[in-house]
Amino acid sequence: EVQLVESGGDLVQPGGSLRLSCAASGFTFSSHRMHWVRQVPGKGLVWVSRINGDGSITDYADSVKGRFTISRDNAKNTVYLQMNGLRVEDTAVYYCVRDSATFDYWGQGTLVTVSS
Amino acid sequence: DVVMSQSPLSLPVTLGQPASISCRSSQSLVHSDGKTYLNWFQQRPGQSPRRLIYQVSNRDSGVPDRFSGSGSGTDFTLKISRVEAEDVAIYYCMQSTHWPPYTFGQGTKLEIK
């Protein structure tokens, strides 16, 4: 059974940093692109970042480019999102998503709150 | 960026009646490989999104056959043949043809009338 379990969400002050983790199981992790998608509570879904299977190719939404870094450790079956320079508008639930013919499995999400 | 526009944004439906959600893209979603990467997701209250349909009309495993997807080019539709109580959710279309970024529609909230 495919499982994606996010962790690392917390309350952080503007300008602060946070690292999200997503532990994957139930499939061959290194064979899949992985994404982070976020959702402000009560609002819609917004794609944040993507990483390919071996970690050599990454992409970012313009809103996070230069502040967020996606990475993965295939030995640990884990994908990360390092978030620096956090802003109030980064407050959201962050979902880890597997990409197999596009976004087929989603984690339960982890809440990041940026507030002073 | 490709803009995805859904309508209606709110959809009250009587149990047992059909429902239809439209999704339009700002440019054709036909990829250079000939496939069309238009997907539909369901997000029930308090839950993570779940993919229902991929590549316009392919239903995911476990998705009831009352859900169907259709369309081409820039115009797509998600239909529910007979709405059940468990279908109360927000439905999102999403394109994965032209990326980055991957883009979602605003969401359509289906409720029981």
Kindly give the confidence (pLDDT) of every residue in chain B, 113 residues in length, as a single tens digit, with 9 standing for 90 and above.
Answer: 999 999 999 999 999 999 999 999 999 999 999 999 999 999 999 999 999 999 999 999 999 999 999 999 999 999 999 999 999 999 999 999 999 999 999 999 999 99
pLDDT value, residue A100: 80
Q: Which of B76, B92, B79 is nearest to B40 (CA)?
A: B92
Provide the 10 A C-beta neighbour count for residue A15: 11
A94-105 confidence digits (pLDDT tens): 999 999 878 999
A5-33 confidence digits (pLDDT tens): 999 999 999 999 999 999 999 999 999 99
Residue A81 has pLDDT above 80, yes or no: yes
Minimum distance, in Å, between the CA of residue B41 and any CA atom of chain A: 9
* Residue with the two structure tokens 């339960």: A108
CB contact under 8 A, B103 and A106: no
The alpha carbons of chain B give a radius of gyration, in whole angstroms, of 13
pLDDT value, residue A101: 75
Answer yes or no: are the C-beta atoms of B74 and A17 closer than 8 Å.
no
Tokens of B46: 């308090």
Contacts of B102 in chain A (CB under 8 A): 35, 47, 50, 103
Tokens of A64: 């996070």
pLDDT value, residue A102: 84
Helices (H), chain B: none
Find out whether the peptide bond into A14 is cis, omega within 30 degrees of 0. Answer: no
pLDDT value, residue B46: 95
